[in-house]
Structure formats: C-alpha cells, structure tokens
Amino acid sequence: MITVLFGGSRPEGNTAQITKYALEGLDYNWIDLTQYQFTPVRDLRHENEDIKTYSDDYKEIIDKVLESDTVIFASPVYWYSISASLKAFIDNWSETLIDPNYKDFKEKMAKIDFRLILVGGDCPKVKAKPCITQMKYTLDYIGAELKGYIIGTAERPGDIMKDAFALERAKEWNETLG
C-alpha cells in the first residue's frame, strides 16, 4: 500500500499535481495533514512516564503509515523546510518512540520505502537541499531510509507541469511503484 502524507496548503496546487502525476493509475491512500489536528509533543523522556494515549489525530495516521509499504512525504518548500503540518506529524514520532504500544515502531518504519516530493519557486533545486538532509537524518534516526526524492520548480499554479526534470522523475517513480 502507498500512503501520501500531503502537507500542502493548496489541495490542487503544484505539490499535489506532481505527486498525483507520480502515482497516476496506482492505488494510494492520500492523507491531507492540514485536515488533522496535532497537539504539541509531550517530552517525557526524563520523567519515567509512558505515553499511551493521544488527544489528537496522530494515532489514526501513524497506524496507517505503519501499514504502508511506501510512504511519500509531499510538501511545498516553506521557508526552506517542509510544511508545518508535515513537521508536526513527524515531531510526534518522539512520543511513539516511548509508547509501549509501539515497541516495534523502529522495526516497522525501517521496512517502509520512504520518498519525498518538494516543490518550491525560489531555486528549490539548491535551496531545498537542507530539507532533504533534514528528512534523511530524521529517517536515519529511526532506522529507516529516504529512498528517493523529487524537487520541482513552480511559482504559479500549474507551473509544475512545465518542469521536465521533475515530470521525468515522477514518471520513473510511477513505473517502479506500479
């Protein structure tokens, strides 16, 4: 199963367009993270307490992620990073790491084919590189790997469909994921 964690503010914007292009004809689960609520992370690492309950939408989504074979993070580049909604979801992994109900969290995550799609308008093929490094380090920390990424250049609505390199990479993904 392929799951898309979409962090864009425009459901039909350039990031959504290139992601859907990469998955054309494939079955996938689209999760628009902007439609869910994530509470700030509770850091109990030094409190000798377990986290066993969640008062937001996080558990519903992490359970879907853990059932996935492939997870695609899809985000516009906002201030040289991923979107706040995607970052808020990932921040909650800190809680999962100490939740006794997810003792096998790292093992399950390590088996997932993680990929990243970023779209920006201000030289993203250069300025999005720190974002890619951020995601690689994040996944490394939990024993997983970023298997690939696409960086698209788009400023105005529909511009992504003019980025021949990004479209070619998306087509390659479609062939390998299908």
Q: What is the CATH number of the domain that holds 96?
A: 3.40.50.360
- When pLDDT is averaged across residues 61-82 and rounded to a whole number, the result is 96
> Which pLDDT belongs to residue 129?
94
Q: Contact, 116 vs 145, CB < 8 A?
A: no
Average pLDDT score, the chain: 95
**Least trusted range by pLDDT, from 39-43, 158-162, 173-177:** 39-43
Q: Say how far residue 140 (Cα) sits from the centre of its chain.
A: 14
**Residues 102-124 pLDDT 10s:** 999 999 999 999 999 999 999 99
Q: pLDDT at residue 34 above 80?
A: yes
Q: Give the span between the Cα atoms of 16 and 4, in whole angstroms.
A: 10
- When pLDDT is averaged across residues 71-86 and rounded to a whole number, the result is 95
Q: Give the number of domains in the chain.
A: 1
Q: pLDDT at residue 93 above 90?
A: yes
> Which pLDDT belongs to residue 51?
81
- When pLDDT is averaged across residues 87-95 and rounded to a whole number, the result is 95
Q: What is the pTM of this model?
A: 0.94
For 67, the domain range is 2-177
Q: pLDDT at residue 44 above 90?
A: no
Side-by-side strand order, sheet with 113-120: 28-32, 2-6, 70-76, 113-120, 146-153
